[in-house]
Structure 1
Amino acid sequence: MDSDSDSSTSDNEYISEESDESISDKKTEIEDDSEDEVIKAIKRECERKNNHPPVINCDDFITDICFHPVSDILAVGSILGDVIFYKYSTEENQEISRQELHTKACRDLEFSEDGKLLYTTSKDKSIMISDVESEKLIKFYENAHDCPIYCLSIIDESMFATGDDDGTIKLWDSRQKDGPIYKTKRNEDYISDIVTDEAHRYLLCSSGDGSLTTLNLEKRCVQMQSEEYDEELTCLGLFRTETKLIAGSSKGKLFIYNWNEFGLHSDAFPGPKTAINCLIPATENIVITGGEDGNIRATHLFPHRQLGIVGQHDMSVEHMDICNDGTFIASSGHNNEIKFWNIQYFEQCEKVSSKHKKHERKKDLENNLPSSKIKNVSDFFSDLT
């Protein structure tokens, strides 16, 4: 375990390990770029202490994480099929419950909108719906798919969707006694992520075969399928008041789709050449991505700019989620630890300067976001220039 990653000191280590002269030079650089709201936010955050919960070290491999939508609780899925609940705060984290749900890895877990129910799915091909408070099993779907289930997404209070390793997508209604209400298989590889809009008109499904499949939920049919890219589509997110869909890829790209135009992307943003495993929207314009190289990056979409490193793990970042009030994100990596990052300052720097001259770019990228401990950021980002 990386003991120096304790969150009570991580925000200060970025400064304390450098010389006074280096710090002075860095502050001068930040002050010179007075027009950039992001750099101002970086300066403010570097001066703050203990603004996020400490690290959670787990005994078993972490397979998913999910914040409770109402309470300060984080649910953690494990490779053993268990779900562990932690009460988190900036002072300490406390394990409050542990449920043994599945016989194999719990691959995905989601809370209902009110937080009263927990939906879980597993490599054992089952789906469970449990009462969070009483821990009683409400619904159990044994052998829900013919092969291991990869992901799950809640659509409304009764309907949810699942995707498996073989590319099959199923819709379920918890009010129905037996099987799915709809299923389709248009993909040749695993379903990596599933999202829907607030109107619940479309269901967007990304796949390891490099395509995006759109289901019409009203008609319960396949609306369209995009062209296949030569890279996996690994994760999805909605932005700009649900007028834009963003997809991360195994080659580090971000594909942007206009809403209801899911056949072909409208923009493609390159990034560091490492797989994007997960992404979450921090604001309507800023996306945070978790990479296979262990780094958590912030990217401004409109205008497009790489903002820097939010934080990092020693190994690949596999899962991220954002808490109920948007203050923290949590991330988990291959080394069985969960880290928290304070991203509240993004709300204060939504407007990012569109000026981006070549001679200014290197200086921009030398300014890390506050939780980062990378020092030679200009070298790290050299493949972007």
Structure 2
Amino acid sequence: MKDTYTSIECDSLIFDIEFHPKVDMIGAGNFDGNIILYKRKEDKKEFKKKHIIQNHDKAVKYVCFSKKGKEILAASSDNSCSITDISGVCIWKNICHKNSISSILYSSNHTFITADEVGYIKHWDIRDNTKKPIHKMKCFNDNITSMLMDHDEKSIIITCGGQLGLFDILYKKNITSNNISNEYNDEFLCSNLMVHNSKIVTTTLNGNISIFSKNPWGYMEGKIKASKDAISTFVKFDDYHIFFGTSDGYIKTAQIKPNKLGETFSKQNNKESIEKLAINKNKNLLAHISNDYSINFHQIEINNSIISNAIKKKKKKSFFHDL
């Protein structure tokens, strides 16, 4: 058996990737308007094409699996969104925004949220035959860069420019703003909950990893200078550790509480920007895309408290030594 996973070579530019939450499968949105599902071949370190879903005429910029993995939410550059079941049957499709969609998020089995580049947030229910949003709100005037569900599944956390917002989505009439932070002198690009859902971590345009409290809301508790350029993507490994990708082609690690920069996990030979990272359900496989046609994989191994990507290196005390 090979030591490393075989990269997937696609027919057109890849914009987004996400692993399936239940099985060994990865979904990709591409320039041709397709969602392509690849499934891992049993006992082999490679993925093979399973389905091509053709719901969009223009590039699929974002893909998102539902919580149980039975449906796929996608957003296209023509500002339409679709929901498709795992076999490729289209369940719902609609033009959702006048401006470019910048983020999508499932909020329940039947509902999802979209956001755009001018600050609109819309909440949709696929059971509503009118295909009109059940909620619509504009609290920002800039590109909404990320959305994530709070652990109570009643609120969403939004990043826009240098601000963090918390919004209640359960009211029938509107989305209610609970808190919006002061504006920081940076732009937040990606976010996730860490430290048992008590902290919000963002990566930024200025190459920082910033850590914020939830109470008081949006107070910056710490910052790691992690790159000289923008960090557009990161994934959560566990409650205290992340992998992040840099614009000069590095995948690195960082620890939260205590806050410190870790080791270099992988490096692109051509120094192409790491545009998106994804991690599988077992947290043993990392995937990344750059501005090209490839989906690349990195095996995560922890042996004797040493973390590696299956490329044999001289062992040293690991940044992950406390796992």
Q: TM-score, normalised by structure 2?
A: 0.88
Measure, in 1, the Cα distance between the counterparts of 2:301 and 2:68: 23
Equivalent position SS for 1:340: strand
Q: Which of the numbers 125, 132, 149 marks the counterpart of 1:179? A: 132
Distance 1:58 1:161, change over 3 A: same
**Residue 372 (structure 1) shift:** 7.3
What is aligned with 1:328? 285
2:298 — aligned with what? 341
Tell me which of 316, 322, 331 is aligned to 2:273. Answer: 316
What letter is aligned with 1:94?
Answer: K
- Is it true that 1:138 corresponds to 2:138 in the alignment? no
Unaligned runs of 5+ in 2: 315-323
Question: For the residues of structure 1 that align with 2:243 and 2:19, how far apart are their CA atoms?
Answer: 16
Q: Do structure 1's residue 228 and structure 2's residue 171 form an aligned pair? A: no
CA contact under 8 A between 1:107 and 1:151: conserved in structure 2?
A: no
Given that 1:295 and 1:311 are in contact with CA atoms closer than 8 Å, whether structure 2 keeps it comes out as yes
Counterpart Cα distance in 1 of 2:301 and 2:170: 37
What SS does structure 2 have at the residue aligned with 1:341? strand
- Hey, what does 2:9 align to over in structure 1? 57
Query: CA-to-partner distance for each residue in 1:241-280, whole Å, 9 max, x for gaps?
Result: 2111101101111111223433332222221212111111
Q: Give the match's secondary structure for 1:183.
A: strand
Give yes or no for contact 2:234–2:242 (8 Å, CA) kept in 1: yes
Corresponding letter in the other structure for 1:182:
H
Conservation of the 8 A alpha-carbon contact between 2:233 and 2:244? yes
- More moved, 292-301 vs 258-267: 258-267
Question: Contact 2:251–2:264 (CA<8 Å) still a contact in 1?
Answer: yes
- What is the rounded CA distance, in whole Å, between the counterparts of 1:239 and 1:290 in structure 2? 18
Q: Secondary structure at 2:210's aligned position in 1?
A: strand
Q: Which structure is higher in RCO with an 8 Å CA cutoff and minimum separation 6? A: 1
Q: 1:80 to 1:262 in 2, by over 3 A?
A: farther
For the residues of structure 2 that align with 1:55 and 1:151, how far apart are their CA atoms? 26
Partner of 1:97: 51
- 2:79 corresponds to: 125
Instruction: Pick closer, same or farther for the CA change 1:349–1:284 going to 2, 3 Å.
Output: farther
Helix, strand or coil at the partner of 2:220: coil
Compare the two structures and name the one with the higher helix fraction. 1
Amino acid at match of 1:91: K
User: Any unmatched runs of 5+ in structure 1?
Assistant: 1-6, 9-49, 351-367, 376-385
Query: What amino acid maps onto 1:318 in structure 2?
Result: E
Q: Secondary structure at the match of 1:150?
A: strand
CA distance in 1, matches of 2:287, 2:58: 24
Change (3 A) 1:91 1:181: same
Cα distance in 2, alignment partners of residues 260 and 344 from structure 1: 35
Amino acid paired to 1:136: V
Residues 4-26 of structure 1, C-alpha deviation per residue, up to 9 Å, x if partnerless? xxx95xxxxxxxxxxxxxxxxxx
Aligned partners of 1:150 and 1:179: how far apart in 2?
19
Aligned to 1:363: none
Deviation larger for 281-290 or 82-91: 82-91
Task: Say which SS state the counterpart of residue 269 (structure 1) adopts.
Answer: strand
Question: What aligned pairs does 1:1-385 form with structure 2 within 5 A after superposition?
Answer: 8=2, 50=3, 52-89=4-41, 90-133=44-87, 135-141=88-94, 143-177=95-129, 178-207=131-160, 209-219=161-171, 220-313=175-268, 314=270, 315-345=272-302, 349=305, 369-370=308-309
Distance 1:262 1:163 in 2: 22
Q: Distance in 2 between matches of 1:74 and 1:260?
A: 36
Quick one: percent identity of the two aligned structures?
25
Query: Contact 2:245/2:251 (CA < 8 Å) preserved in 1?
Result: yes
TM-score normalised by the chain length of structure 1? 0.74
Larger Rg: 1 or 2? 1
Q: Which amino acid aligns with 1:214?
A: L
Contact 1:282 1:343 in 2 (8 A): no
Task: Say which structure is richer in strand.
Answer: 2
